[in-house]
Amino acid sequence: MKELLTIYDTKYRVEGMTCQACADSIQSTISTLNNVSYASVSLSDKELIIQSDQVLDLKHLNSAISTAGDYKILSNDPTLFSQVLNYFETKKPILIALILVSISSLSLQVPNGQFFIESWFTAYMGIFFLLFSFLKLLNVSGFSMTFKRYDVISKQFAPFATIYPFIELSLGLAFLTQSLLVFANIATILFMISQSVGVIQVMKNRENVQCACMGTAISLPISSLTLFENLVMVSMATYMLLI
């Protein structure tokens, strides 16, 4: 009598998907693996379902999709530590950028011999806008296409998405040279609130939209960290106007 095979239904989480093509690519790759009889990837739920005659190792799965793109398959029931570790891993590019902005702006206060919060805020915003405008200027057209998907101003006035990287560059120079600071702070508040409203809408609707803050060179989905980054800039600019 032929022995019946045990079929395992296993769910996994998938990080790094930004469009349906990503989900299709992962599904196609996993479906070709030995021992896999069925594979389905949901973009909206960020979930992978596999039917197989044995439980597959995560390293094996991630190795299989490594050539398909910058994706990561994770356990569907991770520990708290692994969740925290994965969060920082997936947000690594923007975290590194924000840390560099913080360290460099703080280091500029050393020659003063004492710490002035106004000087730090001005330096932080200046370096922030210079760094992030550089990433956007690498591919202005690509940035504008993504930016228009969530920025409130760009949705109403499409050309704004194209000129925004140059506006950020101008704001960076204004803060670093301490020129037209009142205008620069007001503009920062308006632009960052516009982006924050769009980010909140994307998160509320659970849409898979790439964050345009780092241009197109770095693939990074919109998250709570994107909102935090914008609100920090709003807070700093508001403080500078009130003092």
| pLDDT greater than 50 at residue 170 | yes
| pLDDT greater than 90 at residue 89 | no
- The mean pLDDT value of the chain amounts to 85
Q: Which of 137, 153, 132 has its CA nearest to residue 198?
A: 153
The parent domain of residue 181 ranges over: 91-242
User: What pLDDT shows up at residue 15?
Assistant: 83
pLDDT grade, residue 101 (50/70/90)?
very high
pLDDT grade, residue 88 (50/70/90)?
low
Q: How far apart are CA 80 and CA 126, in angstroms?
A: 36
> DSSP assignment, residue 208?
-
Q: What is the pLDDT of residues 9-29, one digit of tens each?
A: 788 888 888 888 888 888 888
Domain of 73, CATH number, reads 3.30.70.100
- For residues 127 and 222, state if they share a domain: yes
Domains held by the chain: number: 2
Q: How far apart are CA 184 and CA 182, in angstroms?
A: 5
Question: From start to end of the chain, where are the E strands?
Answer: 8-15, 36-42, 47-52, 72-75
Q: What is the pLDDT of residues 32-69, one digit of tens each?
A: 888 888 888 888 778 888 888 777 778 888 888 888 77
- For residues 139 and 74, state if they share a domain: no
Q: What is the pLDDT of residues 111-154, one digit of tens each?
A: 877 888 899 999 999 999 999 999 899 999 889 988 988 899 99
Answer yes or no: are the C-beta atoms of 169 and 137 closer than 8 Å: yes
Answer yes or no: are the C-beta atoms of 220 and 214 closer than 8 Å: yes
Q: How far apart are CA 213 and CA 190, in angstroms?
A: 16
| pLDDT greater than 50 at residue 4 | no
- For residue 195 the two structure tokens come to 């982006």
For residue 2, is it within any domain? no
- For residues 146 and 172, state if they share a domain: yes
For residue 237, is it within any domain? yes
For residue 1, is it within any domain? no
Q: Which residue has the higher pLDDT, 119 or 82?
A: 119
For residue 68, is it within any domain? yes
Contacts of 117 (CB under 8 A, 6+ apart): none
Look at residues 53, 86, 119 and tell me which one is the last residue of a structural domain.
Answer: 86
Q: Which residue has the higher pLDDT, 2 or 109?
A: 109
Look at residues 60, 86, 112 and tell me which one is the last residue of a structural domain.
Answer: 86
- For residues 177 and 112, state if they share a domain: yes
One-letter amino acid for residue 95 of the chain? L
Q: How far apart are CA 111 and CA 120, in angstroms?
A: 12
User: What pLDDT shows up at residue 187?
Assistant: 95
Look at residues 51, 86, 121 and tell me which one is the last residue of a structural domain.
Answer: 86
- For residues 113 and 227, state if they share a domain: yes
Q: What percent of the chain has pLDDT over 70?
A: 91
